[in-house]
Amino acid sequence: MNRQESIAILAKYGISLTEKQWDENSQQKVVVGMSGGVDSSVTALLVKLYGFETVGIFMKNWEEIDANGVCSAELDYEDVVSVCSKLDIPYYNVNFSEEYKNNVFDTFVSEYKKGYTPNPDILCNREIKFKVFYQNAKELGADFLATGHYCQNINNHLVKAVDQNKDQTYFLYTISQDILGDVLFPLGQLKKPLVREMAKDFNLVTHDKKDSTGICFIGERNFKQFLSQYIASLKGEFRELESGKVLGQHDGMCFYTIGQRKGMGIGGPGGPWFVAQKDLDNNIVYVVEGEDHPALYYDYLLASEESWINDKPELPLRCSAKIRYRQQDQACLVEQTEQGLKVSFEKPQRAIGIRQSIVFYQDDICLGGAIIQNSGPHYYEQGKKLTNT
């Protein structure tokens, strides 16, 4: 596709590009991280239409076959080959399995063994996609790395995607300003239906491929069965928080998250039951009755292991935050303490997960984030009633 054709095609989808911009882009090389999914496929398409010299690279980070004897990575790579051939761009595959195991998966398993529920996608982005993969792209002479994340890079600030339902800034808060300057997010200005439409219009094999879910680079599995391969089952008791009454037996604290309702197998009268607290020392999971039980709500949390994309903002800071992906932004006050950050919320927060991430925003700009270390006393401990949730 020449310059005029590319500009005309982009205009058809509401994307503006000038001839001068296309000419400038044509002098630069972009490596596209390709997963074999529709998002990275359209990312490669867009990068080529923008005029860049485009190279597709597939990362293999997991060696294991699934329960059906199929290696999903091999199937995904076949789709990458098909898409790159269709777009007439060169492609390579790299194997970061060792780095993934040492820097992501081992940490993930270690945290679960301690009874926490970490987010592997955040760690994967920090240690693999924007570290070893970024370095690999630079070694290939790339001016930029492009990924299929739904977010925007505006004036070297990480900004929420136009498609708020798909926004992925929560998972990217550990990216540094230096690296962000070398990264393109072509999907950040598009809605997901348009991405699939473009893939279909260009007859890309991934146009109707299901979006990937599950553990980063490992995919969809029976999570409990998968984790049991790496963590020995340590059975313990489910107890009612208020009375201490034993309600049943759990298969290991690592399989239960704060706020969880399903999968506990607690029978008998009462319920529904929700995980409210974990006693790590005594291997007890405490549950409460009802999703709005005061033991599930908190006014503040403490966090450490801060990561700020640009300069650390002056504290105290009034901003908004998310304590989990897809949560609506929550107004809060961030203060510095000797223990780290104290984050106080205007509204009580439900089911705060220790060792998960809190991510901070100023309007649509992602400022950075931190790891939750303590959730503070819940409302039941304080004897407080819920008045506004």
Over the chain, what is the mean pLDDT? 92
User: Can you tell me the mean pLDDT for 154-165?
Assistant: 97
233-289 classified as CATH 2.30.30.280: yes
State how far the Cα of 31 lies from the Cα of 84, in Å rounded to an integer: 12
Per-residue pLDDT tens digits for 16-53: 999 999 999 999 999 999 999 999 999 999 999 999 99
Q: Do domains 3-201 and 233-289 have the same CATH topology?
A: no
Q: Which amino acid is at 161?
A: A
Q: How far apart are CA 109 and CA 229, in angstroms?
A: 10
d(C-alpha 8, C-alpha 23), whole Å: 15
Question: What is residue 359's predicted lDDT score, i.e. its pLDDT?
Answer: 98
Which among 151, 188, 187 has a CA at the least distance from the CA of 309? Answer: 151
pLDDT band at 255, cuts 50/70/90? confident
Mean pLDDT of 235-248: 95
Closest CA to 276 of 253, 299, 302: 253
Does residue 219 come out as left (phi exceeding 0), alpha (psi in the -120 to 50 range) or beta?
Answer: left
Read off the pLDDT band of 180 (50, 70, 90).
very high
Quick one: 3-201 is in which CATH superfamily?
HUPs (3.40.50.620)
pLDDT at 1: 81
Q: How many CA atoms lie within 13 A of 321 on its CB side?
A: 29
Number of Cβ within a 10 Å radius of residue 95:
13
Q: Where are the domains of the chain?
A: 3-201, 233-289, 296-382
pLDDT confidence bin for 114, thresholds 50/70/90: confident
Residue (of 56, 33, 61, 57) closest to 217 by Cα position: 61
Percent of all residues in the chain with a pLDDT value above 90, rounded to a whole number: 78
Banded pLDDT at 73 (limits 50, 70, 90): confident
**pLDDT top residue among 364 and 376:** 364
Query: What pLDDT score does 362 carry?
Result: 98
- Which CATH number does 296-382 carry? 2.40.30.10
* Torsion angles phi and psi, residue 312, rounded to 5: -60, 130
What pLDDT score does 33 carry?
Answer: 96
pLDDT band of residue 117 (cuts 50, 70, 90) is confident
Specify the pLDDT at position 190.
98
What distance in Å separates the CA atoms of residue 175 and residue 124, rounded to the nearest whole number?
A: 11
Confidence tier at 2 by pLDDT (50, 70, 90): very high
The residues that are catalytic are: 124, 216
